Structures are given as C-alpha cells and as structure tokens.
Structure 1
C-alpha cells in the first residue's frame, strides 16, 4: 500500500525524538515538518534557563502548528528530581528548582513531600511549556548492585515504592504535567545497565507479582496517565531469553493492556540504549518491533540518522502490512487524549509570554520546600556524631567514576582513559567542602583515588565521603588505610549515593555513618548541617542490608 499524507501524519504521532541545542534546530524542524513527529523530549543539553526553555518550547509548538499538526506537541523531559533532573539548575545554568530524588524523598518517611515536591516541580515545568515528565520511577531496588536504578528508586519495599510513586504521579498530575511511571515491568532486580547491555531478570511470575509489578498495578489503579516500558528480559513474561520487555507483545499488550487493564499511553524507554541498539536491525528495527508489541510512542533521544531510520522503517513496515494502520490509529486516540488533557489547545500553548515575576515568586517558594524536604532526608545509619574541635577538618571525596549511565554520561563530558572525569574534583563535592568551610575555619579538601597516599596529617576530624563504595570497594580500602594512619581521629563516613556500604562490616568502628541518598549540592548541604550544626538527622534508610555484606 502507498502511504497517504494522513497516514504519515498518524505515524509521526507515535514517536518522541530529541535534538541538540538551546534553540529549535534544523533537525527538529525537519522532524516536525517532514516526519510530523508529535512529541519532543528535552534533554539537559537543551536547558539553559527557564526563560530560554519557554522560548524554545514556543518555537517548537509554533513550528508544529505551522506544519499543520492537529494537536500541540507533548514536550517531555526526564525530571525525576534528585540525580536525574534535566530541568533543574546546574553549576553553569539557572533553570528549575532542585528537589530530592526518589530515595531521598522516601528517607523523609512522609509521602506528602513526594507529592508536594513533584507538584511544585510540575508547576515550574508547566510554566515554560513542558507537559510530560518521565517520572515516577516504579522500580523496586531489590539488587544493591543495580548500576542504573539505585537511588532513583524509592527503596526495596514494593508497598512503600508504590505509595511514594503514586504520590509523585498525583503531584505531577495536579501540577498539569503528565506523569510516566517507569520502567515497566520493573528494572530493580538486575546488576546490568540497559544503557550498556541487556539485563535478564530470572524471576517467576509469582515473584514478579509480589515485587516488580506491585507498584505498577497500584499506579494503574490510580489512573496514571502513561507508563514507560524498559529494556530488560523477563523470561517468565516474554517467553524467551532475548526479547526486551519494551519490544514484547506479551508484556505491552497481553500483560499491561489486557491483564492489568492499563488504558493510558505506553511509551518506550530510549531505543538508543545498547539493550536495543545492538540487536539485529538496531534502532530502526526496534522501533517497528515496539509498535508491533503495542507501544503507543517510541522514544529515540539523540541521533538524527536514527530518527530518520526509525521513521522510514515504520513506513516500510506499514506498507508491508507488518504494522496495521487501524491499530496505529486506535493507539493514536490514546495519544490525542493525553494531549487534550495535558497539552490542551493551540490557544493554550501559543502566545503566552514568559512571566518572569511569577516564576521568580514560584521558585522562591519552591526553594523553601526543597530545603525542608532535604533537611528531613538526611539519615544517621549508625554511631553518634562527634563534636568536632576547632582544629583542622579533612574532607575526603572520591574521584568521579562512571557508575550510572543515566546519571554520569552526559554528552560532552571529558574523561581520562580509565574513565575518570577530567576535572580534579566533582563540582558537587567541591560545594560540600565549601559547606564545611562555612562551618569551620580550617578545612582541607582531599580528592582520593585507589592509590591515595595516607602518609599525611589528618587534623582533628575526618569526613570521608563515599559514592557507591559497595561497588567501588577501593574506597573502603582507602578508608581502612586512613583510619590506621589517623588513629584516634574521629571519622564520619558520608554515603553520598545509595547507602549500602554503610551496612558493611568494613565501616565498623567509625564514629558515625551518615547517608544523604544523593550527591546533589542541596543534599550535601543538608548533610553538612547534620554533621556540623547539630541538626537532628531524622531521615531513615528506605533500603536495608538486603543480601548481606
């Protein structure tokens, strides 16, 4: 069959693509005008300021209207808060407010913070035209070695994960932004990162029902607007050991649609991740398989050649009757319903000048909420905090490793041959040292690697910062050497990401173990207040020593 212009316009609604730059690019124009792409994802690379994002979204929407789109674009973004916050401010740019991520929010013990922070973040996004947030994370972090979820999860208890994920979904929805629960049917019990390879989860259906699927079932019952499928193999669901859930009809249609009765929009995770990209046929073939599986929207975030390839492969699949246009149109009705609820009409999205005064007032209020939530999240895992004397305090922070592709591998980051980021100290750890400096006169900040020379003066107290030292055990090797050299000097270990290393026998005997659950500057500032200002650490760890150490 030959494809009509109407057919091509329909097909374009079933993709969400990214592009490069702080202004609308020629690639973005081509995607919207030629391929009729109905959804755009903004990445960190597209965010320079709230005012700039507003102008960018206006230009994208105007382009779509001029190209004859019947409905406004869905403008999506990865705004989980915490470490995955594409809209939040950076050391270089002032954009959205930084709020705690999933594990830090869960550490407060109060789902109201999940709802309030998500609604506050949504109001900022909505004010600049973003209407789709790929959040909440519904994954249960069952495996402490998980390299891609970790603190992006609300914890290891599926009941609590469901409660907090629902609160986030409710907050986003009330703020006018469509939530998207991810990564269905569950990415928490794997130690392989789907950015890099294909994770395999070997669980029975009964086990999946008790853990992985529980949060998603509750989110579906609560009416979540969209769900993102993940690139992991779960043989109990897919029936084979090769097909990612995102490309499996048994998962997307049989389980999600027919069994769990999900009626909202299904979007895939980005197909440029190696779990799909390295399959035969790569991203273009993956796009066809995802649509054939029942996905409503296929995500491809980075590469223009792959955007074109995915579109052309889909055209060909329709022409060969491998994909059914009637099914795509039925799927398209769900996309239109999402757009009507969260994007609105052309009058809703165009011709709205940026209200800088209102945004400043909103962000001033949101900053107070963020500080309050972070203050409630810091946890004392063991020991008792020392009262440091007025002498020198040594702050030790680890060299930056690439541990989590969703967090670490921002485009353009320069690395050494062994994977370390080229700058001497990460900006967030520098900000922590500055926080300590504001509280004590004499501070030495040391960046340590595995070969750190411990033959030095460690002053009157040590704050030893770790990052996932359960997976980077060399950090605990350095800690042991430091403690031997600095016998009698009080040591506080601060886990700046997932707190699993604090359950290890290797930290026994240190004065105190504190967890911040993320290494954002805001979380580390809250930890500094606990360690040095006598602020009571009221947070509790949402994960336990699940598998022993």
Structure 2
C-alpha cells in the first residue's frame, strides 16, 4: 500500500470524539498523524457559542495545516429535546433548546419540526458545526423501549416518516447535513444497544411495513447521510449475532442496493457494549463496519480505541481484507458530502464570531421554541382544576438511569457504587420554580418507593412521573397518596413517554397531562397548561 496516500484516504472514513473545550494533543494527533477527516463534538466539548466557534476554527486550521484536501465534517448529536449536545444546560450557554421528536410530533404540525430544525441548524452553522446526527427515524413500536422512547416521533410509521423528513429538510435548509438513524430501526426493542445487543425478530415484510418506511421516505427525499444501528435483525443479516452496523447484508445489500441510498453511511458509536464486547472489540468492529460497506465509522470517546481502529484498518488493507479501490469509491461520497456542507477552506476559516448577529438569532429562536413547546403539551384525560390560593405540593421522582443515551452522559453525579445520586434533578427543580411563579405557597417533595404518604398535601397536588410504566413504584406511591389525600385535586404530569397515562392506575385523578420530555422548557410549558394560562392542544403521538 502507498502508505501516505492510503492513510490519508483511510482517515476520511472515521469520525472521532475527544475531550476538552480546546484542541487537545489527542485530537491533534488524530488529525495530523491519522488524517481523520471527521470530528464529533460531545456535550463535554461545549461551553458557549464563542468557545465552540473558536474550537472548530482551531480544528479546521489543524486539518488544513496537516494537508487535508477538504475541511472536516464537524458532527454533533443534536436531536433537540433530551438529546441536545449543543443546547444550553446547567454547565453551558450554547444553542437554543427546541422540542425533541415526540414533543414536536405532539403539535401535529410538521412545519414546527422543519422550522425548529432549520433554526437550530443556523445556530450550529454559525459556529462551524455542519453535521447533525438527526432525525431519529425509529418507530417506537415497543412502549418498553429503553433507548428511543421520546426520541421517536411516535408509533405510526407514516407520521414518523413525515416528521423525520421535515427535520431533515430543516437541517439541510440551515446548511447542516442530516443523518437519519438508527437504520434499519431501533424502535421495536426492549434492550439498549449501549448496554447489550438488541435482537428484533421480524420478517422482511414486517420491516417494510414499519421500520423501513421512514427511511425509504428519507432516501427518496435525498437525505444526506444515514446512521446504522447496533441491533440484530436475523431476517436481514442471516444470523443472530451480527449487528446491522457490521452486516454487509444490511449496509450494502439492503441500504445501498435495494433501497438505492446514494449518500454517506455512518455507523453509530462502536464503543457501545453491543460492539465493544464482540471478539476483537472496537478496532475489529471498525474493520467489520468498513467491510460491510459503511463509509464512516464512529468512535466517540477513547484515544486507545481510536488508534486501535486506525491501526487495525491499516493491517486489514495490507492483508487484503479491505480493498482500497472500495474505500476510494466510498470516499467519493464523503467528498461530495463535504463539498455540499463544508464548502472550501475559505468558507470555513477566518470567519470571526458575530456575537451581535448570534444574539439576534437566538432571540428569534427562543420565541419559536416557546411557541412550539406551548403547542406540544397534551391533556390526555380529565379536566384541569382551578387551584385555590392555598398550598400546592409538587412531587417529582428520584433520578433513575432509564436511558443510556440521556442519563449516562459524562458528568452525571453518581455514588461510589455507580448509582445516580438521590437528589432532586435540576429539571424538576426548575419545574417547581415554574409552579412557584404561579402559586404563592409551593412545597417541592422528591419521592422514592418508600415515600411516607402520611402528610399534608395542601389544596392541590401536581404528581410528576417519569416513565412510570417501567418504574411502576411511582404509581404505587400515587395510589397510596390518593387514599391519604382524599378530596385533594391531583394532576399527574408524565414528564417523559406518556404510556403510564393510559393505565387504569391513574383513574380517579383530576387530570393527566403529558409534556413528552423533562427539559426545563417543556416543563415550563406544562406549568402554563396546568394553571390554565394556555389551552392544551397537543396530542399524544403514541398509544397503547
């Protein structure tokens, strides 16, 4: 192999993450020594808009100095909602928080999906981000799904396709490449691929009717890239062990040949246990993914695995297990993506950060976000009480790890044994503050399974749940409270997936409200509905 040219080509087929708010020595090595052509930013890399702009400029300058022919694709997980690596949070003041998939679908209007995604894309593009791993094309067929849930637009394939296309169009309009995920569909599983290997037992006909519908629509509409997922579908791969992301039958035969997808195929992060625990681990998984037909392999966290993936790929080429002519043909798709979404070196370098323009953009976007959230809150059953001027009790659940894509981000507070610390979650503290702005006397209680219900519940109770269909202890507490607080009006607020609100176990409460996510913005919108300031017009995109 012509080491210099081939290594430059191979580097274009990876997207790696790194640690820190500035260009680290690790990422500098990846760009200069390994010629890596794509970088993913995580929440850990984001402090504020200006810092991200400076960081991206430094990354691009590093790539240009290293002789890269085209600028880097700079990607990020910005689905909006609960998975928003670019949005403002407790530790960073960055992008505008917009509703996630299920919340935006609850508005019933795909134009909100398109407009919010375009607005988010304009913010990302202004700081140099040009690739968003969104929209989620998964149909949430299984209510017990531990990793998709509210990240999906719902359980109706047709509506999921409609909203996913709207997000893809909005991102493209804003100059950011969309990446529909997790092909061929992660919605009908109750195992999280971060933790294990999901197996979906469906026939090809069943897949065509559900999982593949949104992706077919996105492909027909010309989506720029698609992310493959780490789930086993034996009807496609022919075996019960190979994840879709590493399967040539899925990546090449189905996606490339049958569905005629012409864009870039990128894998989900190979550091998930579903790939990491396979023989050969992440480095061998990278070779398998490229051999399967992936254009770009994603490894987000560990420098040793970045090096290992690159070195194993070099060896695979030398041994003839990977062919440079196939990689170069694949590289043409990556180049086309870069030409469309990065432009030239002059387009990406030397652009000063315009703080005044960004402030104006974010002021406009904040209004759009508030409008979309106001349209998303749903009254699932009952009628809302008119709370008196007496004490209102707000009850929120202790924090549990229910979704590795959301809960297990770096930086979450944990005990020595690895459990999430038993403290009031910041988003629920913000909800209590939202209630306090509307009521003079508010008590915020954090409840666990052993909550003592023998107490005063005031003149009204707002009982917040989070996926109580899976954490049924929350509904046990609610039933005990209903006995103790007889005559007190109770509003149940489902702050994530709304499945528990369709249960007979909530019968008898005054009203059931769904916010579809527990971002501060969604909970503020829910408070305005609960206190009858705004009429609930949202409708649940899922049912039982």
- TM-aligned CA distance change 1:423 to 1:47, over 3 Å: farther
How is 1:270-419 mapped onto 2 (pairs within 5 angstroms)? 270-416=269-415
Q: Deviations over 1:447-472 (max 9, x none)?
A: 00111111111001000000000000
Q: Report the Cα offset of residue 504 of structure 1.
A: 0.6
**What is aligned with 1:147?**
146
Q: Distance in 2 between matches of 1:440 and 1:413?
A: 31
SS at match of 2:464: strand
Paired residues in the alignment total: 544
Q: Distance in 2 between matches of 1:323 and 1:420?
A: 42
- Contact 1:415–1:422 under 8 Å retained in 2: yes
Question: Given the alignment of the two structures, is residue 432 of structure 1 paired with residue 453 of structure 2, yes or no?
Answer: no
**What is aligned with 2:223?**
224
Q: Which runs of 4+ in 1 moved over 6 A?
A: none
Gaps of 5+ in 1: none
- Contact 2:145–2:187 under 8 Å retained in 1: yes
SS at match of 1:394: strand
SS at match of 1:483: helix
Q: Report the Cα offset of residue 533 of structure 1.
A: 3.5
Q: Deviations over 1:483-537 (max 9, x none)?
A: 1110110000000000000001100110000000000000000000000133100
Question: Given the alignment of the two structures, is residue 530 of structure 1 paired with residue 534 of structure 2, yes or no?
Answer: no
Q: Deviations over 1:384-413 (max 9, x none)?
A: 000111100000000000000000001132
**What is aligned with 2:68?**
69
- Contact 1:402–1:419 under 8 Å retained in 2: no
Q: Distance in 2 between matches of 1:496 and 1:284?
A: 39
SS at match of 1:335: helix
**What is aligned with 2:465?**
466
SS at match of 1:463: strand
- TM-aligned CA distance change 1:65 to 1:406, over 3 Å: same
Q: Report the Cα offset of residue 416 of structure 1.
A: 2.8
**What is aligned with 1:127?**
126
Q: Distance in 2 between matches of 1:459 and 1:415?
A: 33
CA RMSD of aligned residues (A): 0.8
**What is aligned with 1:519?**
518
**What is aligned with 2:189?**
190
- Contact 2:135–2:168 under 8 Å retained in 1: yes
Q: Deviations over 1:418-465 (max 9, x none)?
A: 765326200000000000000000000000011111111100100000
**What is aligned with 2:249?**
250
Q: Report the Cα offset of residue 332 of structure 1.
A: 0.1
Q: Report the Cα offset of residue 92 of structure 1.
A: 2.4
Gaps of 5+ in 2: none
How is 1:162-201 mapped onto 2 (pairs within 5 angstroms)? 162-201=161-200
Question: Given the alignment of the two structures, is residue 215 of structure 1 paired with residue 214 of structure 2, yes or no?
Answer: yes
TM-score normalised by structure 1 residue count: 0.98
SS at match of 1:464: strand
Q: Distance in 2 between matches of 1:520 and 1:272?
A: 27
SS at match of 1:514: strand
Q: Deviations over 1:164-190 (max 9, x none)?
A: 000000000000000000000000000
TM-score normalised by structure 2 residue count: 0.99
SS at match of 1:322: coil
Question: Given the alignment of the two structures, is residue 491 of structure 1 paired with residue 471 of structure 2, yes or no?
Answer: no
Q: Report the Cα offset of residue 414 of structure 1.
A: 2.4
**What is aligned with 1:541?**
540
- TM-aligned CA distance change 1:417 to 1:380, over 3 Å: farther
**What is aligned with 1:453?**
452
